[in-house]
Amino acid sequence: MSSKVILLVEDNPDDEELALLAFRKSKLANEVIVVRDGEEALLYLLGDGVSEPKILPQVVLLDLKLPKIDGHEVLKRIRSDTRTQRLPIVILTSSREDEDVVRGYNLGANSYVRKPVDFDGFIEAIRQLQVYWLILNEAPPLGY
């Protein structure tokens, strides 16, 4: 995980644009890969059974309300594969449901962040996520 790529799993074009703008404003130098549904996220992370998956990201920012395969199922499948079971997953969602928080953690999320409504709050949340997950956090080495 040395490339420090971020995988953003977000189906809402407005939220995607806001997140990318927040990354730019917080001067993020890392590459951000965007996938727009759960199926695409799993294909990126786990491959298609024939070809190998892409380089694993340093962190996955995962929305819950996704088309095709919802975020909880994506998280469950990520955690069930030995290649991705320790991959840092941050649920980044607008859901305010306690059930979503509990279920996310039960399925192995490392963090649950509610998307702030105002832009300045969103930029600050992205900045803090960047500092913690890309600078401070020590990810486990691959192959363990």
Q: Is residue 20 assigned to a domain?
A: yes
Q: Which of 24-33, 57-66, 104-113 has the lowest mean pLDDT?
A: 24-33
Q: Using the 8-state DSSP alphabet, how is residue 38 labeled?
A: H
Q: Is residue 17 assigned to a domain?
A: yes
**Dihedral angle over CA of 31, 129, 11, 46, nearest 10:** 60
Give the DSSP letter string of 67-101.
Answer: SSS-HHHHHHHHHHSTTTTT--EEEEE----HHHH
User: Structure pTM?
Assistant: 0.91
pLDDT in tens, 66-84: 999 999 999 999 999 998 9
On the question of pLDDT at 36 being above 60, the answer is yes
Q: Is residue 60 assigned to a domain?
A: yes
CATH number where 45 lies: 3.40.50.2300
Q: State how many domains the chain has.
A: 1
Cα distance between residue 19 and residue 8, in whole Å: 9
